[in-house]
Amino acid sequence: MTWIPWNTQLRELAKQCQYLEALTLYRQMLRCGSSPNAFSFPFALKSSASLPLPLSGQQLHCQVIKSGCSQEPFVLTSLISMYCKFSSLGNARKVFDENPISNQLTVCYNALISGYALNSRVFDVIALFCRMREMGVSVNSVTMLGLVPVFSEPGYISVGMCFHCCCVKLGLNLDFSVANCLVTMYVKCGAIEFGRNLFDEMPKKGLITWNAMISGYAQNGLAADVLELYRKMETAGVCPDAVTFVGVLSSCANLGAVSVGHEVEQRIESSRLGLNPFLNNALINMYARCGNLVKARAIFDGMPVKSVVSWTAIIGGYGMHGYGEIAVELFDEMIKSGIRPDGAAFVSVLCACSHAGLTEKGLECFSEMKMKHRLQPGPEHYSCVVDLLGRAGRLNEALELIKSMQVKPDGAVWGALLGACKIHRNVEMAELAFEGVIEFEPTNIGYYVLLSNIYSEAENLEGVLKVRVMMRERKLKKDPGFSYVEYKGRVHLFLAGDRSHPQKKEIYRMVDELEALVKKLAGCKDNEERRNIEALLGMGVHSEKLAIVFGLLNSEPGTEIVVIKNLRMCEDCHLFFKGVSKIVTRQLVVRDATRFHHFRDGHCSCKDYCTKIDFILKLRNLLEACGVPVQLGGCKCNNMCSNAVWIPENETGSRERADDQPAID
Does the structure show a pLDDT above 60 at 532?
no
Q: Which helix (H) or strand (E) holds 494?
A: strand 490-495
Whether 638 contacts 359, CB under 8 Å: yes
Q: Give the SS3 label for residue 576.
A: helix
Residues of the chain with pLDDT > 70, as a percent, come to 87
* pLDDT tier, 540 (very low <50, low <70, confident <90, very high otherwise): low
> Is the pLDDT reported for residue 190 higher than 70?
yes
- Alpha carbon distance 566, 543 (integer Å): 10
The predicted pLDDT at position 520 comes to 53
The rounded radius of gyration (Å) of the Cα atoms in the chain is 31
| Spatial CA neighbour of 148 closest among 126, 169, 131 | 126
- 428 vs 435: CA distance, rounded Å: 11
Please give the full DSSP string across 467-493, using - where no structure is assigned: HHHHHHHTT--PPPPEEEEEETTEEEE
Q: Give the pLDDT confidence of 399-433 residue by residue, as tens digits.
A: 999 999 988 999 999 999 999 999 899 999 999 99
Task: List the chain domain ranges.
Answer: 386-478, 482-523+539-617
Tens-digit pLDDT profile for residues 71-89: 899 999 999 999 999 999 9
Q: Where are the alpha helices (DSSP H) in 584-625?
A: 609-625
Which range among 294-308, 384-398, 571-585 shows the weakest confidence by mean pLDDT?
571-585
Least confident of 173-177, 584-588, 604-608: 604-608
Sheet holding 596-600: strands in order across? Answer: 490-495, 482-487, 561-565, 588-591, 596-600, 603-604
Bridge partners of residue 482, in order along the sequence: 495
* The pLDDT of residue 455 is above 90: yes
Residue 605 identity = S
User: Where does 189-291 show beta strands of DSSP type E?
Assistant: none
Residues linked to residue 487 through DSSP beta bridges, in sequence order:
490
- How far, in Å, CA of 61 to CA of 202, rounded? 44
358 by Cβ neighbours in 10 Å (0-12 / 13-18 / 19+) ranks as buried
Residues 6+ apart with CB under 8 A from 403: none
pLDDT digits (tens, 9 = 90+) for 29-43: 999 888 899 999 999
Answer whether residue 187 shows pLDDT above 50: yes
Q: Which residues contact 343 (CB under 8 A, 6 or more apart)?
A: 375, 378, 380, 381
Give residue 586's pLDDT.
Answer: 86
Residue 272, helix vs strand vs coil: coil
C-alpha dihedral sign at 148, 151, 153, 156: negative
pLDDT, one tens digit per residue, over 480-499 is 788 988 888 788 889 988 88
Query: Could you give the angle at which helices 395-403 and 411-424 cross, rounded to 10 degrees?
Result: 160
Residue 522 binned pLDDT confidence (cut-offs 50, 70, 90): very low
| 622 has a pLDDT exceeding 90 | no
pLDDT of residue 382: 96
Cα–Cα distance list, 430 to 394, 474, 524, 612 (Å): 14, 20, 32, 21
CA distances in angstroms from 331 to 65, 309, 314, 366, 381, listed in the order given: 56, 12, 10, 13, 16
608-616, Cβ contacts within 8 angstroms, sequence gap of 24 or more: 608/574, 608/642, 609/357, 609/391, 609/640, 610/423, 610/568, 610/571, 610/574, 611/571, 611/574, 611/575, 612/641, 612/642, 612/644, 612/664, 613/423, 613/424, 613/639, 614/571, 615/664, 616/644, 616/646, 616/664
- Give the pLDDT score at 652: 33
Q: What is the DSSP letter of 634?
A: P
101 vs 203: CA distance, rounded Å: 39
Average pLDDT, the chain: 86
CA 67 to chain centre: 53
pLDDT exceeds 60 at position 303? yes
Instruction: Give me the CATH topology for the region 386-478.
Output: 1.25.40
Residue 528 in this model has a pLDDT that exceeds 60: no
- With cut-offs at 50, 70 and 90, classify the pLDDT of residue 633: very low
Band (pLDDT 50/70/90 cuts) for residue 651 is very low
Count of CB atoms situated within 10 Å of the CB of 618? 12
Is beta strand 482-487 parallel, antiparallel or unpaired with respect to 561-565?
Answer: antiparallel
Evaluate whether 117 touches 145 at the Cβ level (below 8 Å).
Answer: no
Name the DSSP letter for residue 649.
Answer: B
Residue 609 clears pLDDT 80, i.e. is over it: no
What per-residue confidence (pLDDT) applies to 451?
94
The proportion of the chain whose per-residue pLDDT surpasses 90, expressed as a percent, equals 63
When pLDDT is cut at 50, 70 and 90, the band that residue 558 belongs to is confident
pLDDT digits (tens, 9 = 90+) for 128-171: 999 999 999 999 999 999 999 999 988 899 999 999 999 999 99
Taking CA 338 as the corner, what is the angle to CA 337 and CA 339, rounded to the nearest 5 degrees?
A: 100
Predicted confidence band of residue 318 (pLDDT cuts 50, 70, 90)? very high
| Least confident span in 288-302, 413-427, 434-448, 513-527 | 513-527
Give the separation between CA 642 and CA 404, rounded to whole angstroms: 33
